[in-house]
Structure 1
Amino acid sequence: MSVECTRLESGLTVVTETMPHLESVALGVWIKSGSRDETASEHGIAHLLEHMAFKGTAKRTARQIAEEIENVGGEVNAATSVETTSYYARILKDHVPLAIDILADILTHSVLDENELLREKHVILQEIGAAIDTPDDVVFDKFSSTAFRDQTIGRSILGTPETVQSFTPDQIRSYLQRNYTAEKMTIVAAGAVDHDTLVRLVDDRFSDILHTPDGSEVETTATYTGGEYREKRDLMDVQLLIGFEGRAYHARDFYASQILANVLGGGMSSRLFQEVREHRGLCYSVYALHWGFSDTGIFGIHAATGQEDVPELIPVILNELHKVAERVDVSEIERARAQFRAGLLMAHESPAARASQIARQMLLYGRTIPNEELMDRLAGITPERLTDLSGRLFFDTPITLSAVGPVDTLMAVEDIASKLTTGRERQAAIG
C-alpha cells in the first residue's frame, strides 16, 4: 500500500492510498469548513447545505442522484462537524468515475430549489426535535455551549428552528461560495484506486470549483470559558458531563491528553470504569473524552446514572482525578499506546476508515503522517508527563458542568471546584 498526493493548479489536493487486494473504493471530498465558519445569522446553514447538496443539480434530480449510485451497488452520504464537512461514497472499483461525477455535480451545480429547501427544512426541524427529546444529545450540546459560551464553536451544529426556517437559497449560496473553495478541499480515495486516473477525473469534473474565497471569511478565535448548565427533567437517569479546557491538535500536549483520556476512561480496563462501574456499581456508563480543535480543546468525563447514586458518584470521579494527578503506571500508558496502535492498523483494513484518517491528517496538518511517526510521538509520553498534565488540566482551568435529568442531588459546581482546589494544594505539596 502506498500514499500518493497531488496538488492541482486549481488548488485542489488529491490523495490516494492504493489497496490492490480490494475490489472497492472509499472516496470523498473533505472540506475545511464546518459550523464554526458560520456567521451569527447562519447558525445551522453548514448542516443544511450538506442536506441540500443531494436535493438536485442542473442535470440530476434528487431521486436520480440516489438511484445512479445505488444502481451500481454503491452508497453516498455526507457529514458536518464543527470544523469540517465531508461528502463521500463507497463503490466498486469500476464505478469510481461515476462517484466522482456525482460528488462534483452536487458540490458545483446544486440548484437549491425552493420547494426542496422547504421540505428539507422540515426534515431538519424534526432532527432538532429528536435531539431535544434525547437527553444524552442535550447534555453534550449544552456541554459545548457552556464550555465555549456565546461562540460559534460551542453552538449546536443543527442550528435552531428559527435560524433554519429563515434561510434562503441566496444565503446558502453565499456560504457555499465563501467556504467551498479549492484550497479548502481535499479529495481522498482508499482501496482499489489508481492515483493518476483519479487525478485526471478530479481535474476534469471539478473544473468549475471556485479557486479562492470571496474575501469575507469568518474569523473566529475560541476562548474556553467553562460554566454550568443544569436541566431538570423527569427521567430515570441523570446524564452528566464534567469538563476542563483541553488541547488543540497542534499543541504539544494533544497526544498526551488523548492518552490521559484513555487511562482515565478509555475502556473496560480504565480507572473510571473499574472503580465507578465495576467496583462500586454507581453507573451503567462512564468514560473520558478529549476533543481537539484547531486552536483549543475540551477534556470531559461523561456518566449516566440513577438519581440516588449521584451524591456518591461525583466525589468518586473527583477522587480519580486526584489520583491520576499523583500517579500513573507505565503499564497504563503502554496499554493506551497499544489501543492507539491497534486503531491505526485496523484502519488500514477498512478503505472507508483509512480514507477518513488520511483526510483528517491532511486537513489538520497538511500532510499524511506515517504510523511510525505517530507512535514515536506517543513513545515520549511518560508517567511524569501525564501527572503534570493532569494537574494543569484538572486544577488550573474552570470547570464545565452539564447535567440533564433529576439533578436535585447533584453537587453544586462551587463545591466541585473547591475539591479540585484542594487537589491543587496536594499537587503543590507533592511537587
Structure 2
Amino acid sequence: MDPASTVRITTLPNGFRIATDRMESVETAAIGIWAAVGTRHEPAEHNGVAHLLEHMAFKGTKRRSARDIVVEIEAVGGYLNAYTGREQTAYYARVLAKDVPLAVDIIADIIQNSTYEEAELARERAVVLQEIGQAEDTPDDIIFDHFQEIAYPDQSMGRPVLGRAEIVRDLPRDVVAGYLESRYRADQMVLCAAGKVDHDVLVDLAIKAFDRLPTGARPLVEAPSYRGGDLRLNRDLEQVHVALGFDGVAQDHPDYYTASVMSQLFGGGMSSRLFLEVREKRGLVYSINSFSTSFDDCGLFGVYAGTGEEEVGEMMPVICDELARLPDDLNDEEVVRAAAQLKAGTLMSREKTSARCEQLANQVLVFDRAIPVQEIVSKIDAVTTDDIRRITRQFLVSPPTLVTLGPIGQVMPYDDLRKRLS
C-alpha cells in the first residue's frame, strides 16, 4: 500500500485541521493538538508564558480538577503529556483505540476550558522555576539556550523556551489566560492522530469537542536575523561544554535535506568524521555530535562536544580543521552512507504511532500537507557530493556562534577560531 494512502486531512470552515495516519497493524493510537505557537511568539516582557500556559492546561478546567485529568486518562491505561518549543506547542495522549473519544474530550477540555486558578498558578510558577533551576544545573542542556541566544541576540528566536526566572516569577493570571486567547487560533492548530483511528469518526468528534477555538487574523511574528558571536561562561565543572555553529536552512528550504545529510556525515554517528577523528583516533571526547536544526524561516548547523579542561585546547582546532577541509576532502561513499542512515531512521520511525503522529502534525503546520515517505526518501537520495561541498562552504561563510561553558581557560580565542575556519 502507498504510505500516502493511509493519511487523510480535513479542514473545517474555521481553518481547524484534522489529520490522521491509519496503521492497520496496531491496537493503539497517538493523538494530540499541535499549535503553531511557541517561544518566538512571546513578547520579550512575557518570556516563558507559552511554557507556563502549557503547564497550566493540566491544572484544572471547568469540568475537571487537576486530579480528575490524570486519573481519567490513567484509568484506561493511557498517557497524557505536553511540550513547548520555539514554534510549536503540543498536547498529546497515547491510548487504546477504543479510548480515542476520551482522549479527544480531555485534550479539548484542557485547551478550551482551563480555569487558571490563582492558587494553582502560584504552585505551577514554583514548579517551572525549579525546572529552570534544573536546566541551569545541566550544562549539556542549558548550553543550547545560550547558543540560540548568541545566534539570535535580542530577538524572540533567541529567548529560552522555559523563560527567564525573574519574568516567570511575576507572570500574572491575565497574561497567561490572555496569551491563549490571542495566539491559539483555529487555523494555526491541527488535531492529529496516528494508529488505529477512523478519520471520519475523529472529524465528528472534533467538530463537537473543539467548538470554542478563537478565530481571527494571525498576529505578526518577528523575522529572525542570524548574527553569531562568542559567549564564555566560566563554571566549576569537570568538563568544558562547547557548542559551535553557523547560519543554517529553514524547513522549507531546497537545501533542507542536503543539510541533513551533511550533518549526518560530519557528526551524526559512529562512522562520522567527528567521531572517528576526535574520539576514536585522538580520544579527546566522550560525547561529540553535529546537528542541523530548522525552523519556519531560519535554521542552524552546529557541533556540540564535551571534553576535559586540558583537551579542549587540542579539540577545537581539530573540529575547525575537519570542517574547513570537508568541501575539498569528500567522497561519494561517505555521502551514500550518511544518506542510508537518514533513510533508515526515517523508515524506522514510522513503526511508532507517536512518531508518525508528530511528523504528520509538523508537516501539516509547516507545509499544509502530508509529505509521503517516498518523497522524503527521494529527496535524500537526490543529495550529491557536490551539494554537500556547496552547503558546507555556505555554512562557513556566516560568522560562527561559539558558546563554551565550564573551565574555559584553554578555549581558543574567537578570532583564531574564525581564521582557522576560513
Q: Which TM-score band (shorter chain)?
A: over 0.9
Q: How many Å separate the matches in 1 of 2:100 and 2:90? A: 17
* Counterpart for residue 338 of structure 2: 336
Deviations 1:253-284 (A, max 9, x none): 22111111001000001000000000110111
* Counterpart for residue 239 of structure 2: 237
Structure 1: stretches of 5+ with no match in the other structure: 422-431
Deviations 1:350-396 (A, max 9, x none): 101110111111111111101111122122211111112111211x1
* Counterpart for residue 124 of structure 1: 128
Map residues 165-314 of structure 1 onto 2, 5 A cutoff: 165-213=169-217, 217-314=219-316
Map residues 144-159 of structure 1 onto 2, 5 A cutoff: 144-159=148-163
Deviations 1:276-301 (A, max 9, x none): 00011011111100111111111111
* Counterpart for residue 41 of structure 1: 45
Matched to 2:238, the amino acid is: M
Q: Among 81, 87, 108, which residue is 2:112 paired with?
A: 108
Q: Among 334, 343, 363, which residue is 2:365 paired with?
A: 363
Q: How many Å separate the matches in 2 of 1:340 and 1:178? A: 38
* Counterpart for residue 392 of structure 1: 394
Structure 2: stretches of 5+ with no match in the other structure: none
* Counterpart for residue 420 of structure 1: 421
Q: Among 4, 10, 13, which residue is 2:8 paired with?
A: 4
Q: How many Å separate the matches in 2 of 1:265 and 1:227? A: 22
- Residue 38 of structure 1 contacts residue 218 of structure 1 at CA under 8 Å; is this kept in 2? no
Q: How many Å separate the matches in 1 of 2:220 and 2:15? A: 20
- Residue 31 of structure 1 contacts residue 85 of structure 1 at CA under 8 Å; is this kept in 2? yes
Deviations 1:6-43 (A, max 9, x none): 11122210011111221110000000110100011210
| Residue 339 (structure 1) shift | 1.5
Q: How many Å separate the matches in 2 of 1:290 and 1:224? A: 15
Q: Among 6, 27, 32, which residue is 1:28 paired with?
A: 32
Matched, 1:72 2:76: yes
Q: How many Å separate the matches in 1 of 2:83 and 2:142? A: 19
Determine helix, strand or coil for the equivalent of 2:310: helix
| Residue 323 (structure 1) shift | 2.1
Q: How many Å separate the matches in 1 of 2:131 and 2:102? A: 30
> What TM-score comes out, normalization by structure 1 length?
0.95
Determine helix, strand or coil for the equivalent of 1:129: helix
Matched to 1:351, the amino acid is: T
Q: How many Å separate the matches in 2 of 1:344 and 1:284? A: 26
* Counterpart for residue 91 of structure 2: 87
- Residue 55 of structure 1 contacts residue 112 of structure 1 at CA under 8 Å; is this kept in 2? yes
Q: How many Å separate the matches in 1 of 2:36 and 2:334? A: 35
Matched to 1:92, the amino acid is: L
Q: How many Å separate the matches in 1 of 2:207 and 2:271? A: 49
> What TM-score comes out, normalization by structure 2 length?
0.97
| Residue 204 (structure 1) shift | 0.4
| Residue 324 (structure 1) shift | 1.0
- Residue 43 of structure 1 contacts residue 160 of structure 1 at CA under 8 Å; is this kept in 2? yes
Question: What RMSD, in angstroms, separates the aligned Cα atoms of the two structures?
Answer: 1.1
Q: How many Å separate the matches in 2 of 1:121 and 1:347? A: 35
Q: How many Å separate the matches in 2 of 1:88 and 1:172? A: 20
Q: How many Å separate the matches in 1 of 2:395 and 2:409? A: 27
| 23-32 vs 340-349, which moves further | 340-349
| Residue 51 (structure 1) shift | 0.1
Q: How many Å separate the matches in 1 of 2:286 and 2:63? A: 51
Q: Among 361, 377, 380, which residue is 2:379 paired with?
A: 377
Number of aligned residue pairs: 418
* Counterpart for residue 429 of structure 1: none
- Residue 239 of structure 1 contacts residue 304 of structure 1 at CA under 8 Å; is this kept in 2? yes
* Identity across the alignment (%): 43
Determine helix, strand or coil for the equivalent of 2:288: strand
Q: How many Å separate the matches in 1 of 2:254 and 2:195? A: 33
Q: How many Å separate the matches in 1 of 2:349 and 2:284? A: 34
Q: How many Å separate the matches in 2 of 1:177 and 1:363? A: 19
Deviations 1:316-356 (A, max 9, x none): 11111122121322121212221221122112211011101
Q: How many Å separate the matches in 1 of 2:107 and 2:258? A: 37
Q: How many Å separate the matches in 1 of 2:341 and 2:159? A: 31
- Residue 39 of structure 1 contacts residue 218 of structure 1 at CA under 8 Å; is this kept in 2? no
